[in-house]
Each structure stands twice: as structure tokens, then as C-alpha cells.
Amino acid sequence: MKQPIFTGAGVAIVTPFESGGKINYPLFAKLIDFQIENGTDAVIVCGTTGESPTLGHTEHAELIRYCTQHVSGRVPVIAGTGSNDTAYCLKLSNEAEKSGVDGLLMVTPYYNKTSQQGLIEHFSYLADRVSTPIILYNVPSRTGLNIQPATYKALSAHPLINAAKEANGDVSALAQTAALCGDDLVLYSGNDDQIVPFMSLGAVGVISVLSNVIPKVTHDMAAACLAGDFAEGARLQLEYIDLCNDLFADVNPIPVKEALKLMGWNVGPCRLPLPAIGAGAAEKLVKALKNHGLV
């Protein structure tokens, strides 16, 4: 039986930038503290929400190191180290390990993609060469590649392939994966609008964009499910479903950074190619934030 790196709500934390484009480390520290003080169960750094595709190699390594040092063991830290280049993914992962991270989040290869057999070989190669538990990240809307339940089953045999962040939106496929893998693969929801449905099928938490904005609510939603109180989890899921959806009214992380700015966190813009939020998405987002008394 594999032990989860964390249970509950882990925040896929944004990367704040100064006006000149550099990483704003003092503000990043404050965001981390805000999350931990409000119940976040893990910090996921250099994920998609953290704009990892536009972080330079040195920035990537330094941001992971800074995050791990500032968290200082208060909650687990998981570093995004995925790449469509297996060798580069290994390099990022080995560097992250030197910082003392608790887990490695590896997205499936994108653009060049691969086959299901290629996924098995890619992740097995990496797992053989790291010493830190791996969370597989399946997000077909971004990568054009979907991990099949049978592929999860094959990968779950490796002792360091610990978990999957599943963001394909397919509850039936998650059920198949859970049935095939059992205790050999820990499952996390990768979609905030599916926390409760996924946890009802055995997921132990969520890697969350929503947590950036309302960490305590997201933690409480997951905690209710972990305690078997799915009625309370469902109540929170439905109460905040508008915010879950409107945080994706534009390309992530455009809306969540806009939301944080509206809430008083000067996290700066996204790096190109991500532009400022569109007018329609901004209108929806403001409405949802006002609906919950966040602005």
C-alpha cells in the first residue's frame, strides 16, 4: 500500500512577478504563509498555475529551492518537473530533489506526445533514476495526450510512482483506474469542480487552483470528504461551483492571478504568451468574487 505524499487540498501556487518581470520572492513568501495559515495541506510549486513553461531553467530551480526553504517542513512541497524531453525532465527532477522536496509532479509529454507504451517507458525511466515519489499529471486539454487506466495500472507497479493528478474530467475513467490500481496508486483530483465526485471514488484530495483564492474552504471541502462527510463536501462544492468555473473563464492562470490582484495581492501579470484577462471573463470573475464576499 502506497502512502500519500499529502491528503486534503494542495495549492498549485501562482508565481508572482514584479513589474519588470522578475519573480517577486518577498510576495511569494507571503502567499506561502497565507496558504499554510489557512489550512492548505501541501504546496505545489512550478506547476502550470505557477507558469512553469515560461520559467527559465535557473528560475525554475531557484523557485523550488526558495519554496522548500520557506515552507521549512510545515507542509509537504511538491515540485513540477515535467517535460516533453525525458532527459530534461530527469535533470529538473534531480535538481529539485537536492532542494529537499517531498514529491515530483510530472506532466505527460506534450506536443511531441507519445503512445501509451511511450508513457510507460518515459515514466519508468524517470522513476528508476530519482529517489523521490512521483505524481503523474494527466491533463489532456493541455497536452493532447491521455493516460489510459491500463497504463496507470502498469505504472503503479513501480514503487516510486506514487500518485496521479487526474485532470481529464472523466469520472468513469477515474473509477476504472481506482478499480485497477487499488492501493498501488494514490489519486488526486486535478479539477476543482470535481473534488467531491473524485474523492467519493477514492481520491485523497485535490491539487487546486481554487486554493489560491480560498484555501480554507478548499481544505474544508477535502477534509469533509476524508472524514466521510460527503454531504458537507457536496454543500461546499455546490456553494462555490461558480468560482470553480469562473477561475477557468480564461486560460489558467490568467483568471486566478486577476482574482488575487482584485483581492489585494499584487502578483503581477502573466508572462507572454498569456495576455491580460478578457473582458467577458473578467466580468464573470468579478461577479463570482463579489458573490462570495472576496472583493
Query: Using an 8 Å Cβ cutoff, are 232 and 17 in contact?
Result: no
Cα separation of 130 and 79, whole Å?
13
Q: 152, 165, 240, 257: which one is catalytic?
A: 165
As given in the structure block, the three cell numbers for residue 202 are: 477514492
Does 137 qualify as catalytic in the annotation? yes
> DSSP string spanning the chain?
-PPPS--EEEEE----B-TTSSB-HHHHHHHHHHHHHTT--EEEESSTTTTGGGS-HHHHHHHHHHHHHHHTTSS-EEEE---SSHHHHHHHHHHHHHTT-SEEEEEPP-SS---HHHHHHHHHHHHTT-SS-EEEEE-HHHHS----HHHHHHHTTSTTEEEEEE-S--HHHHHHHHHHHGGGSEEEES-GGGHHHHHHTT--EEEESGGGT-HHHHHHHHHHHHTT-HHHHHHHHHHTHHHHHHTTSSSTTHHHHHHHHHTT----PPPTTS-SPPHHHHHHHHHHHHHTT--
Q: 30, 113, 137, 261: which one is catalytic?
A: 137
Does 22 qualify as catalytic in the annotation? no
R_g over Cα of the chain: 18
Active site amino acids: 137, 165
